[in-house]
A and B are shown apart, each in its own frame.
Chain A
Amino acid sequence: GAGVSQSPSNKVTEKGKDVELRCDPISGHTALYWYRQSLGQGLEFLIYFQGNSAPDKSGLPSDRFSAERTGGSVSTLTIQRTQQEDSAVYLCASSFAALQETQYFGPGTRLLVL
């Protein structure tokens, strides 16, 4: 596939459960980004990776959120002890290099916490 892919496309979970969201960037892209978009809202930046490193994790909403990237490719966003306010679309994007480069977005994972 030529684009950014994310899985699952939809996830329904119960409050208190942990969830893992996966992002497969475009091959060769060294930078990877995670965003959150609540219903009818704008895009909230969460974190970005340059290679396997995340220079700044302060954009993550709480300590229940964590992200990692291995092998300079796939990234996982983990939300522990999910809360109803975590319900949103989680978008992943990648680019050739960090920050100023054009980002290519995946279709997102729609998370619903009941």
Chain B
Amino acid sequence: LAKTTQPISMDSYEGQEVNITCSHNNIATNDYITWYQQFPSQGPRFIIQGYKTKVTNEVASLFIPADRKSSTLSLPRVSLSDTAVYYCLIYGGATNKLIFGTGTLLAVQP
């Protein structure tokens, strides 16, 4: 069964770039990697999804190395409103289960 781990928390300041890494050593060949953002008392919200190399959208970039055993969510120039918990999500291959990472609490300070 795939297992995903993330740092418990990270601190940053407004305007900085933040990189959050997720380890997923047992990712299956066909699995995509998805990242979600969750604010208190709300459901998670989609940020970005990728399969390999690099994906960029209007809010973030996702870097995936060739072995795909980890992925890094990059948030450029964070603001106070980016303070949230960030989760990676992997489809658990043949198990028909979805596996969220342990979550990273990002605290952005002024």
Contacts and interface: CB of A to CB of B under 8 A. Distances in A.
Do A and B share a complex? yes
Interface of A: 4, 33, 35, 42-45, 48, 55-56, 58-59, 91, 93, 99-100, 102-108
Nearest to B91: A99
Given A99-B91, A100-B91, A102-B34, A45 B97 contact: yes
Given A56-B97, A99-B96, A102-B49, 5 more contacts: A35-B100, A45-B100, A93-B43, A100-B91, A104-B46
A106 B43 CA distance: 6
Interface string B17-49: 000000000000001101010000111111001
A102 B46 contact: yes
A43 B87 contact: yes
Contacts of B34: 102
Q: Give the top 8 A-B pairs by smallest Cβ distance, nearest first.
A: A105-B43, A56-B96, A43-B100, A45-B98, A102-B46, A42-B103, A100-B32, A99-B91
Contact of A42 (B42, B45, B87, B96): B87
Contact of A91 (B43, B46, B103): B43
Contacts of A103: 36, 44, 46
Nearest to A106: B43
B102 interface: yes
B43 A99 contact: no
B98 A99 contact: yes
B107 interface: no
A58 B101 CA distance: 19
